Chain A
Amino acid sequence: MIELRNLEKRYDNPLTGLPFYAVKDLSLAFPSGEITALLGPSGCGKTTTLRMINRLIEPTAGQILVEGENAQSLKPEALRRRIGYVIQQIGLFPHLTVAQNVATVPDLLGQPKARTRERVRELLGLVGLEPGQFETKRPSELSGGQQQRVGVARALAADPPVLLMDEPFGALDPLARDKLQEAFREIQHNLKKTIVMVTHDIDEALKLGDKVALLNAGELAQFGTPDDLVRRPVSEFVRQFLGEDALLRQLAGVRAGALARAGDGSGLPQVSASLNARSALSVMLRERAEAVAVTGEDGQISGVLSFHDLERT
């Protein structure tokens, strides 16, 4: 678990001498084994908060506890080697091969070469890159999506309990982003890391975040599950930031199959279980139906999704 206690980052304007709070009095606990999305408008202090956790930025006040230990009491390098870090511009080392890139932290930790080599192959497989094909490539020979996958593999290499990600899928086109988000959700399902993920993409936060922390001008606007933010916004800012179609955005991140219930679907319009719930709703509206039948991969009806089911995402 990562805990922020009254965290503050203040910059003093060198001209006017006036203080500016990039992050102000932020107290927050990122639950273990879950993804917390740090969401907020541009310049609200998301990156600053994230980089204070692995001490790439030193806070001006407050405390950070990583697994109960005070981050300030650790050597920054030692702390960072225990925390996976994925940055927005990917930041792969262009002069090293994919395998060498992934092996960065294990090498820094002095782990045995043979074991690291095994680990690299395993990780590349995990992020969906065929090891034999990609190991010896240079980052410049990869697509943006492949590079980002390597970035994720590199962050996971030393099996850190905590993963920090700064807009990891930001630089990708929508299609590649979707695919990588799916793959990432799958990986996290198995690994159960404590993940803090910065994003300014509301859909991404609602889709991937087990919890969402919404920041506004350096302060916490709301912290809770996606449901909390969408259905129970605590302030006008939260409601406005998520927008009037927040519910639809949330539905877009859920598969129809996940909401369906057992039932007799004969005679109803059919949708595939892998379709997202928002599209299923669209089908209901188009067909003027109160419910749709959800079909599995084999084409057989596996359940029924009714309008009321959509209300309890």
Chain B
Amino acid sequence: MNSRPLAGAVGEHLSPALSSAARFSPDLQLVLWLGAAPMLAACWLPWVLLRPNRLAAGEFLRLPPLDIGLGLLAALATALAGRFLPRAVPLLASFALSLGAWWLGSRSGAAVQGQAEFARASVSSGVWLWLLGAAMTVYGAGLVGRRLGGAQPYLAWLWLPAVVLMALIGHFASWSVVAEYRVQHDRFFQELGRHLYLILVALGLATLIGAPLAVWASRNARVSGVVLGVAGGVQTVPSLALLGLLIAPLSALANAVPALRAVGVSGIGVAPALTAMTLYALLPVLRNGVVALRGVLPGVLDAARGMGMTDNQRFWRVQLPLALPVWLSGIRQAAVMLVGVASVAQLIGAGGLGYFIFSGLQSGAADLILLGALPAALLAIVLDILLRGLETLLGRRLGRA
């Protein structure tokens, strides 16, 4: 008799915040704490490295005490909100990431204030650690937001417009990487364009060669064994080695056939880079193509035949449309992979963002490396998102969703 009112009383004493927090599994809170820990540590680490010029040794600068306090507060608040006030998590996470970006700009700005023109303010371990932690928090906040529903998932993306806005108003102008960019402005766009050109041409060639091969392989077990075996074999050769291996045969080819040399084929430069990248991209295009084409339900193909479609009609009207979304995911994998391979193409003189990475490596200028590496990473992410979007769109249009 007594147990009922007692249970009711306990229930009433639970705060509403607590009872809603109870909906979140411990693993989400763990993600938030895993994000908070690096941010807490970052507050104590050096934030900016100030050097009189881009190669000289420099001194490490830390956050001012007030900012340290704010940082600790922001990090703790996000993690604790996961336990006590889940609705605040997406907003707080966005705030934490924006705060890191803001400090990146403001601290490097403060550092070069009053310094000579060649002084460089690079970001140091504190920034990286903070951004890493904040990114994890944002990821966790995205998951929290999805469970909360409503506008919450979008709040976890608020940092993006904030950071874009900061970039637009020139908030990062004093950061050493941006300083490098200002010096190499024209070169940067030239190499970025080259990078994109290499990726798109290789992707196009791989699709052009891979698509018919995949169709053939999907119909013939022996062919698919050979084709996938060869493409898989190519994939195991490291990209640098493959570039090296292509130098000899291509220069021999160019020497033997002057017409080819006239259109730009040679042992080094764009031709071998494109050849290697095309070979690399072939495997994902082929593998997904074969899987996608074979994955079309046999009953559907049988119905198509039974309705009186010719082999061609069956392929174009039924098999290909049904295989396309899965096939496209292979092309996406290839595109993302090519961003990386294109970065080493500079080693055989093909250019691309690798130009900055390798000149940075040679001269020991970390900022120059970042000028190549950061856009490359961003490019991979953007390509992935775009092609993923195309996949879902196509999938929905073709009745998969």
A, B from the same assembly? yes
Least CB distance, A245 to chain B, in whole angstroms: 34
Residues A56 and B313 in contact, CB atoms below 8 Å apart: no
Residues B305 and A56 in contact, CB atoms below 8 Å apart: yes
A93 at the interface (CB under 8 A from B): yes
Query: Which of A62-70, A79-87, A256-264 lies at the interface?
Result: A79-87
Residue of A56, A90, A94 most packed against chain B (CB within 10 A): A94
Bound together, the chains give a CA A93 to CA B297 distance in angstroms of: 10
Least CB distance, A171 to chain B, in whole angstroms: 11
Residues A138 and B399 in contact, CB atoms below 8 Å apart: yes
Residue of B300, B318, B322 most packed against chain A (CB within 10 A): B300
Residues A94 and B322 in contact, CB atoms below 8 Å apart: yes
B308 at the interface (CB under 8 A from A): yes
Size category of the binding interface on chain A:
20 to 34
User: Given A80-B306, A81-B307, are A89 and B299 also a contact pair (CB < 8 Å)?
Assistant: yes
Least CB distance, A54 to chain B, in whole angstroms: 6
Closest to B301 in A: A91
Residues A92 and B303 in contact, CB atoms below 8 Å apart: yes
Bound together, the chains give a CA A87 to CA B313 distance in angstroms of: 19
User: Given A94-B399, A95-B322, A140-B399, are A105 and B300 also a contact pair (CB < 8 Å)?
Assistant: no
Interface string of B225-241 (1 = CB under 8 A from A): 00000000000000000
B13 at the interface (CB under 8 A from A): no
Residue of A56, A90, A93 most packed against chain B (CB within 10 A): A93
A78 at the interface (CB under 8 A from B): yes
Which A83-119 residues have C-beta < 8 A from chain B? 85, 87-96, 104-105, 108
Specify which of B305, B318, B322, B400 is in contact with A80 (CB 8 Å cutoff). Answer: B305
User: Given A93-B300, A93-B318, are A56 and B306 also a contact pair (CB < 8 Å)?
Assistant: yes
Size category of the binding interface on chain B:
10 to 19
User: Which residues on the A side are within 8 Å of B297 (C-beta)?
Assistant: 89, 91, 94
Specify which of B307, B321, B322 is in contact with A108 (CB 8 Å cutoff). Answer: B307
Which residues of B are in contact with A by a Cβ distance under 8 Å? 297, 299-300, 302-310, 313, 318, 321-322, 398-400
Which residues of A are in contact with B by a Cβ distance under 8 Å? 54, 56, 76-81, 85, 87-96, 104-105, 108, 138-140, 154
Residues B313 and A108 in contact, CB atoms below 8 Å apart: yes
Bound together, the chains give a CA A138 to CA B318 distance in angstroms of: 14
Residues B398 and A95 in contact, CB atoms below 8 Å apart: yes
Specify which of A79, A91, A95, A108 is in contact with B299 (CB 8 Å cutoff). Answer: A91
Residues B303 and A56 in contact, CB atoms below 8 Å apart: no
Least CB distance, B397 to chain A, in whole angstroms: 8
User: Which residues on the B side are within 8 Å of A89 (C-beta)?
Assistant: 297, 299, 302
Bound together, the chains give a CA A210 to CA B237 distance in angstroms of: 68
User: Given A56-B302, A91-B302, A138-B399, are A85 and B307 also a contact pair (CB < 8 Å)?
Assistant: yes
Residues A77 and B310 in contact, CB atoms below 8 Å apart: yes
Least CB distance, B48 to chain A, in whole angstroms: 55
Least CB distance, B317 to chain A, in whole angstroms: 8
Least CB distance, A55 to chain B, in whole angstroms: 10
Bound together, the chains give a CA A89 to CA B308 distance in angstroms of: 18
Bound together, the chains give a CA A81 to CA B305 distance in angstroms of: 10
Bound together, the chains give a CA A313 to CA B218 distance in angstroms of: 54
